[in-house]
């Protein structure tokens, strides 16, 4: 089986209206500036305050998975 180079995954979740999306965006930009390739999967964003939001960030050092997806 080929290793596609996924090094880490972070799952961020919380109540809508509490800055979860902002936190994930800042984390994503920081990881990109550190040289990682970042893939973000956003769950359906709730329009109701207090409902649950989930985001998953996968980041890796090599670009092999990115080339495979395109």
Tell me which residue range forms the domain holding 60. 6-69
Indicate the number of domains in the chain. Answer: 1
d(CA 30, CA 47): 27
* Domain-embedded: residue 13: yes
* Domain-embedded: residue 44: yes
Q: Which of residues 60 and 6 earns the better pLDDT score?
A: 60
* pTM exceeds 0.85, yes or no: no
**Residue 1 confidence class, pLDDT cut points 50, 70, 90:** very low
* Domain-embedded: residue 1: no
pLDDT in tens, 23-58: 888 999 998 888 888 888 887 666 677 788 888 888
Q: Which string of DSSP letters, residue by residue, matches 25-44?
A: HHHHHHHHHTT-EEEEEEPP
* Domain-embedded: residue 65: yes
* Res. 18: pLDDT tops 70: yes
Q: Name the 3-class secondary structure at 16.
A: coil
């Amino acid at each position: 089986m080929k290793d596609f180079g996924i090094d880490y995954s972070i799952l961020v979740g919380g109540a809508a209206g509490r800055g979860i999306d902002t936190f994930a965006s800042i984390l994503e930009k920081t990881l990109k500036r550190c040289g990682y390739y970042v893939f973000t999967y956003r769950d359906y964003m709730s329009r109701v305050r207090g409902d649950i939001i989930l985001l998953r960030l996968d980041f890796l050092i090599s670009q092999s998975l990115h080339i495979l997806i395109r």
